[in-house]
Every structure is written in structure tokens, then in C-alpha cells.
Amino acid sequence: MAEEPRKDVTAAEAAAIAARVAGAAKRTSQIPAYKRAAALAGVAEILKKQREEFAALIVEEVKKPLKEARREVDRATFTFGWAAEEAKRFGGEWLPLDLDANTEGRVALVRRFPRGACLFITPFNFPLNLVAHKVAPAMAVGAPFVLKPAPHAPKTARKLAEAIAAAGWPEEAFAVLPCSNEVAETLVRDDRFAVLSFTGSANVGWHLRSIAGKKHCVLELGGNASVIVAADADVPWAAARAAWGAYYYSGQVCISVQRVLVHEKVYAPFKDLFLKNIAELVSGDPKDEKTDIGPLIDQKAAERVDAWIHEAVSGGGKMLAGGVRMGDRIPPTLVESPPQQCKLATEEAFGPVATLEKVATVDEAFERMAKGRYGLQAGVFTNDVRSIFRAWSELPVGGIIINDIPAFRSDAMPYGGSKDSGIGREGVRYAMEEFTELRTLVIKPA
């Protein structure tokens, strides 16, 4: 059963929980597929019935605007439901071995088995659906798990744990453990966990991998997401999508639009429409259904984003919108032509700020986009098939979104990045593969 959220959990207590959950690995690996699917479908049904309760908790804990909180609950409902389907079709293969005289008369059966107990560490910005993207695949393959939720969102995690227990998942086979970062590191080092799946900042993620020992690691570490608007783009559509993608949930999304690179032929009309769309966004109370932009998670985050904005402007960038911080709130901010080495151009802002740059060619845009240390997702607005396939083959990112923003994500598709954006992939079936390993059975009939 999920542990009561406490701030005083010691390393020894966490180790005891790890031992209990890891000890359930044999039992969970033997749960038949139809029972795993039934438990996942049960969680999805509970989420559907308790949509407003979960949404209200998300608003309370992480200040997400209500309409986005509801959308997150809907996505998590889909994620668990899709995992129920994947649990029933996650099979293996029969491999003939009569390939030469030495292996004649033998066949091989190949399937995937859970690696063992999983440790999940999740961020504040999607306290339900990013948890679902770890928990649901683990349940689908029959792996026990410990979840260390973000410090800002223990209640959402706890409520999900109640749903998992109510749906029939073995109570000894999972735990939700809010704890300090120091205690979390003891769990990362604990050899009883076979998998570490972490979503968060690059610096923390790579550090955790360095202390994780022999664990299989899946790291989703964010990025500096770019949009390219080519000369043949649908400019009104691109401007509207970029405005939403840069500022929804105050930009606190790892695939939020941060850099907008626009071909010089359409730069002026795009700029005008982009600013118009930004001005139409509604800032206000996250509990208000009309609100698009609320506060950042805390004042410290707002102060950091504010400092990055001023660095870009003092270095020569031009403020086109926003830029005036009030406590933990920053209005939708747009900086034109920032210095290429400033933090807004090179790091993950995780705030309601984007940059706008003019490029002479798509080649120039590709070159700028590919230079950075991150490679999570990118958006390219074009109908030129050559540019589309060039982007797919040349841009070092995990996902290329054509005629939409990098903030697009289907919960069924593979999701993850390259370079400092991480290793491994999420997306239900792809995470199921990460949490399992191949095992081959060779048979020589008598």
C-alpha cells in the first residue's frame, strides 16, 4: 500500500520499503495478462469518475490552470486505458534456428520478462500523467515499483495510489514515498531496484545515473525546444500554435516552445500574428476556467526566469512583450533576436518566455536548432517534403512534429530525447520495453 506522506522518512525506513516492494517482484511477474489489464482498466475508470477531484488537487498543489489540469486527468485516463490494452498484446516471437547444419532441429522462443523492481522519480509539472507514464507500463509488464513524487505534489500521488490499490494491484508491490532528495539518493543507490526512471532536470538526471550502479536507466531531462516556420508555412496556424505552446502552464513544460526561428519572407506577418495571439492569452487565478497563464511554481523559479530575460535583453535582445515580474508571476514574454549564447537561447527556461529569430534559409534554421546541448522535440511548419525528410534525418532530437509545435505529444507514441535530453523512451509500449529484458528459450525436440 502507498506510504503516508511524511517529511521525516529516514534512509533506513526507505530501505525497508524498498525491500518489501522488491520482494514482490516474483509475484507480480506471475500475474496473468488479463488481471494486469483489468487492474489498469480499473485505474482508468476511477480517474474518469474522479476527474474533477484529481483536477482540483493538481490546481491546488502545482498551480496548473484548471482547464489544463482537467486535460491532464483525461490524458492519464487514456494512458492507463492504453496500458491495459498493451498488457494483453505484449508478446514475443518464435525464431527458427534451422539456419545451418549446427543449429538444425532447434527452435527459439523469445519473450520479455520484467527486469525487477522499479524506482520512479517524477517532477511537479505533470504530477498525474508523468507518473502514469511510469506506473502504468510497470503494471502492464508485472513490475513492482516505488514512486518518489515531486515535493510539491504528494497529495496527487497519494490519491493515485488509492486508485491503484482499489483497482486490485497487490498492495505490497508498490509504494508512494515522498521523501527528501538525500533519501531518494539512497534509493537510487539501492541494488534491489533494477530500473531507475527519472523525469526532471538534466543536471540532476545525469547525476542520478552516475550513482545508480548497474540499474537500467531511463532519463527524460527536458530541452530547449525550437520551432521552425518555413517560407511556405501556414503562418496564422503557426503563430497561433506557437503562442499557445510557448506559454501554456506558464511554460513549465519540457517541450514548451522556447525558440521560434522564422524565415525572413514570412517574418513580419508571423511576428504581428504571434504578438496578437500572445495578447489574447488570459492571465489570472488557476482556479478560473478562463485562465491560460497562472503563477510559476514558486517565487524562486520566477526570479530565475526573470534574470534570464534580463540577461537576454541586456545582451542586445529586444523585449516585444511582457517582461515585468510580479512575485511568482511573469506575463507572457517574447524577446526578439537574443544573443546566441544567452541562457534563453541555450538552456531550458521552464517559464513563460520565448525568443523570436529571423533566418534567411531553412538550412540556417536547422543549423541553429542542431547546435544546442538538448534534443527532445522540435516543430517544423512546412509542406516541403524535402525539408520534412531532411528534418527527420538531420535534426538530433527524439521527435519531429510537422506543422505543429514540439509541445505536441500523443501518450501512445515513443517519447524521449538525445544528447542532454536523456536516454531511453517513454510512451506506454516503449516504456514496457525499457522495464523488461529479452530472454531466449532454445528447444531441441527429442
Catalytic positions, written as ranges: 220, 254
Alpha-carbon span 344 to 335, nearest angstrom = 9
Q: How far is CA 257 from the centre of its chain?
A: 14
Residue 204: CB atoms within 10 A of its CB come to 16
Q: At what angle do helices 129-141 and 33-49 cross, to 10 degrees?
A: 160
Catalogue the long-range contacts made by 160-165 (C-beta closer than 8 Å, 24 or more residues apart).
Answer: 160/43, 160/54, 160/128, 160/131, 160/132, 160/135, 161/1, 161/2, 162/2, 163/42, 163/43, 163/46, 163/47, 163/50, 164/2, 164/39, 164/43, 164/135, 164/139, 165/1, 165/2
What are the Cα distances from residue 65, in Å, to 1, 40, 222, 368? 30, 27, 21, 33
Beta strands across the sheet bearing 216-220: 174-176, 145-148, 117-121, 193-199, 216-220, 422-423
Residue showing cell 532447434:
106
In residues, how long is the chain? Answer: 446
Residue 9 has phi, psi (to 5 degrees) of: -65, 125
Residue 262's nearest CA partner among 235, 224, 294, 301 is 235
Contact between 424 and 115 (Cβ < 8 Å): no
Eight-class DSSP state of 250: G
Containing 388, the helix (H) or strand (E) segment is helix 385-394
**Nearest one of 405, 386, 392 to 237, comparing CA atoms:** 405
- Cα distance between residue 164 and residue 152, in whole Å: 21
Among 422, 27, 12, 434, which residue's Cα sits nearest to residue 187? 12
For residue 55, give the H/E element and its range. helix 51-62
Other CB atoms closer than 10 Å to residue 264's CB: what's the count? Answer: 12
Q: Among all chains, which residue has been given the C-alpha cell 488479463?
A: 34
